[in-house]
Amino acid sequence: MRVLQVEWPHWQPSTPLSGAFPALKVASVFTGRAITITACPLDDLYVLQARRLNPLDDLTLRERDVPNGLLEGLAYKGIARRLGLSCSTVTNHINSIYAKLGVHNVAQLAQLARR
């Protein structure tokens, strides 16, 4: 519940969430300033999964494919093969992503991803 209170500081667990989360009625994903919430319908209820935003969320979907490969332990060649890219394109993506995220190696990327 602390994650929800980051977005809505005055919300209390005893208060219905629908008032604090009106976007639930129109979308299955809400992304605020500090958190993202995914709502999945279950019968006449919703199951909510909330998490703090991560700097990796700022990457495009295509950009996320490259670090995901790195974090899975793939070499640049394996990432290139998986994504249908050249090794030099993967290298360029990695350099760009590292600069965007302010990291210098896979260990720092992994630490950032765990946050």
Question: What percent of the chain clears pLDDT 90, i.e. is strictly above it?
Answer: 33
Neighbours of 73 (CB within 10 A): 8
Tell me the pLDDT tens digit for each residue of 49-95: 888 888 888 888 788 889 889 989 999 999 999 999 999 999 999 99
CB 97 within 8 A of CB 90: no
Q: Give the confidence band of 37 by pLDDT, cuts at 50, 70, 90.
A: confident
pLDDT at 53: 82
For residues 19-26, average pLDDT: 54
**E strands along 1-115, which residues?**
29-31, 35-42, 45-52
Domain(s) labelled CATH 1.10.10.10 in the chain stretch across: 55-114
Classify domain 55-114 at the CATH class level: mainly alpha
For residues 98-113, average pLDDT: 91
pLDDT at 24: 53
pLDDT at 112: 86
The model's pTM is: 0.59
